[in-house]
Amino acid sequence: MFIPNTKQDQQAMLDKIGVKDIKELLAQIPTRFLYPALDLPKALTEAELTAHIHDLAAKNQPLKNFIGAGMYEHFIPEAVPALSSRGEFLTAYTPYQAEASQGTLQTIYEFQSCMCALLNMDVAMASHYDGATAMTEAALAAHRVTGRTEIIVSSLLHPHYKEVLKTYTQHMGITLAEAKNTQDGVLDINALQEQITDKTACFVLPTPNFLGNLEDAQAVSAVVHAKGALLVAVVNPVSLGVVQTPGEYDADFAVCEGQPLGTPMNFGGPGLGVMTAKKAYVRQLPGRMVGIAQDKDGKRAFVLTLQAREQHIRREKAASNICSNEALCALNAVIYLTLLGPQGLKEVAELNLERAHQLAEKINAVKGFQVNMKTPFFNEFVVQCPVPATEVISKLEAKGIAAGYDLGSTCVQMKNCLLVCATELRTPEDLQAYADALGGI
């Protein structure tokens, strides 16, 4: 099927090599290891495989999705997958031979440019695995730049991001600390001011935070920089159609999960780690970067550049071991943003704001359920339920609705709290159906 060599081909090739059979080519492998018994199922034809995979896909229940919590369901214009799935992009690899990879290289350059424009930052790298690993690399870069050993994160950072940061830093002599939040679900800036010292390498500020609330980033930035620490912002890229950007509040590094920009949720992966920085830190960015060069006729061309940072040159002295990244998701993102343009991005961001606020108001009208409308939020918010969130989730699942994220799963005091998201894909009818379903509990 996928192996074209015929028996005649094989014989001709063996003759050329000068061996009598393939086994002779395997002489380096001790015979006792060769051809082990394998217990594998029957090989499927393409038709059988297609049926089998469709069966598995059908075991997933399509629910009307109101979950966000770091991965968001947005509208993806058909041109995005139609273009990014072209074999010329899909089946190429890292553009080592630049002259024969100008297509991939130019798309990466355009991606870097779009990310800089979106986040209002100076430089961007080609992509990291996901938002959590991009944030971790940014925090590590801050540690290298400042020579300081403490990293403070907001207590309202995504719980998975906290875990990934812990995993990566556990053997690096780095201390992790959390800054407290207020009752209103935002960072306690006064407490942070007390906590941050001249040993602090950076503060990691998610905004919107894990509860969906927007932070007073300008004030946080002042507090962080006053102590000579760096600010790592973690943002929602779609929100930046309307929300204040990391560049505006002087973030040193700004990262995000880029999945909302044209990549489906896929049960959480692949995501798209977007990592940007101030120009001064360009050599601290891990992974690939594309720059403009000239060919020998002086014509504009694109190449991988500043590679002296990378593992294939620096080996154990490299800043990161990253090699393969999420290029195809970055391609989705740049196509998505090219289709939307500044106006489309603003429209989709406003539509998210509107739908989420409409939903919050509808939920507030349901007896026993409450949303704090005082704290500004983008497209998700916390619902105080009269019963445990798990109960709400299972009752709404029976009505074909994925109700939200159970905040009690990471914080016992919040067992009655549900994190609910409405993107532009949730219609006014969907919002009403959600509120009605809550009313039935």
Partner 1 sequence: MQEILKNELSIEKSRSDRRGVRFEPVKKHATDYLSAQYLRKGAPRLPELSEFDTVRHFTRLSQQNYSLDAQFYPLGSCTMKYNPKAYDTLSVLPGFAGAHPFAPESAVQGTLELAYNLQELLKQITGLSAFTLQPAAGAHGELTGILTARAYHDAHDGKGRTEVIVPDTAHGTNPATANMAGYRVVNIKSASNGCVDKEALKAALSEKTAVVMLTVPNTVGLFEPDIAEIADMVHQVGALLYMDGANFNALIGLAKPADFGVDIMHLNLHKTFAAPHGGGGPGSGPVGAAKHVAPFLPHPMVACENGRYTLQGDYAQSLGKMKAFYGNMAVVIRGYCYLRQFDAATLKDIAENAILNANYVRACLKGKFNAYFDRNCMHECVLTPPDPHATEVHTSDIAKRLLDYGFYAPTIYFPLIVPEALMVEPTETENKDMLDAFVTAMEKIYEEIQTDPQLVKEAPHNQPVKRIDEVSAARNPNLRW
Per-residue x/- track, 123-152, partner 1 (CB under 8 A): xx-xx-xxxxx-------------------
What are the residues whose beta carbons fall under 8 Å from the beta carbon of 288, sequence distance 6 or more? Answer: 94, 108, 125, 126, 127, 304, 310, 325
Which amino acid appears at position 89 of this protein?
F
Do the bridges between strand 123-124 and strand 200-206 make them parallel or antiparallel, or are there none, so unpaired? Answer: unpaired
Q: How many CB atoms lie within 10 A of CB 371?
A: 23
If the CB atoms of residues 145 and 195 are measured against partner 1, the closer one turns out to be 145
Query: Closest separation between CB of residue 380 and partner 1, Å?
Result: 12
- Among residue numbers 1 through 40, which ones bind partner 1 (CB under 8 A)? 1-5, 9-10, 12-14, 16-19, 22, 24-30, 32-40
- Among residue numbers 388 through 417, which ones bind partner 1 (CB under 8 A)? 393-394, 397, 402, 405
The stretch among 149-157, 190-198, 228-236, 309-317 that binds partner 1 (CB under 8 A) is: 309-317
Residue 23: C-alpha distances to residues 18, 27, 30, 170 (Å): 13, 7, 11, 47
Which amino acid appears at position 406 of this protein?
D
- Among residue numbers 40 through 59, which ones bind partner 1 (CB under 8 A)? 40-46, 49-50, 52-59
- Among residue numbers 373 through 392, which ones bind partner 1 (CB under 8 A)? 376
Which residues are registered as beta bridge partners of 150? 175, 200
- Among residue numbers 238 through 277, which ones bind partner 1 (CB under 8 A)? 240-245, 248, 257, 264-271
If the CB atoms of residues 315 and 367 are measured against partner 1, the closer one turns out to be 315
Q: What are the tokens at 208?
A: 């919107």
Question: What are the phi and psi torsion angles at 165 (to 5°)?
Answer: -60, -40
Tell me the number of residues near partner 1 by CB under 8 A: 199
Query: Closest separation between CB of residue 231 and partner 1, Å?
Result: 17
Please give the Cα distance from 293 to 303 (Å, whole number): 7
Query: Closest separation between CB of residue 415 and partner 1, Å?
Result: 16
| 164 sits in which H/E element | helix 159-169
Pick the binder of partner 1 from 175, 182, 190, 294 (CB under 8 A). 294
Q: What are the tokens at 106?
A: 């130019």
Pick the binder of partner 1 from 180, 225, 227, 346 (CB under 8 A). 346
Pick the binder of partner 1 from 144, 166, 361, 368 (CB under 8 A). 166
Count the alpha carbons within 13 Å of 269 in the hemisphere toward its beta carbon. Answer: 8
Torsion angle in degrees (nearest 10) through CA of 392, 395, 397, 402: -20
Query: Closest separation between CB of residue 357 and partner 1, Å?
Result: 6
The three-point CA angle 367-368-374 to 5° equals 95
**Residue 175 within binding range of partner 1, rule CB under 8 A:** no
**Residue 180 within binding range of partner 1, rule CB under 8 A:** no
The stretch among 175-183, 184-192, 198-206, 322-330 that binds partner 1 (CB under 8 A) is: 322-330
- Among residue numbers 88 through 127, which ones bind partner 1 (CB under 8 A)? 88-104, 106-107, 109-110, 112-114, 116-118, 120, 122-124, 126-127
If the CB atoms of residues 48 and 198 are measured against partner 1, the closer one turns out to be 48
**Residue 354 within binding range of partner 1, rule CB under 8 A:** yes
Please give the Cα distance from 40 to 55 (Å, whole number): 20
Q: What are the tokens at 432?
A: 């009403």
Q: What is the CA radius of gyration of the chain?
A: 25
**Residue 163 within binding range of partner 1, rule CB under 8 A:** yes
Q: Which is nearest to 231 in space by CA: 112, 145, 128?
A: 145
If the CB atoms of residues 279 and 367 are measured against partner 1, the closer one turns out to be 279
Please give the Cα distance from 422 to 426 (Å, whole number): 6
Query: Closest separation between CB of residue 27 and partner 1, Å?
Result: 7
Query: Closest separation between CB of residue 106 and partner 1, Å?
Result: 6
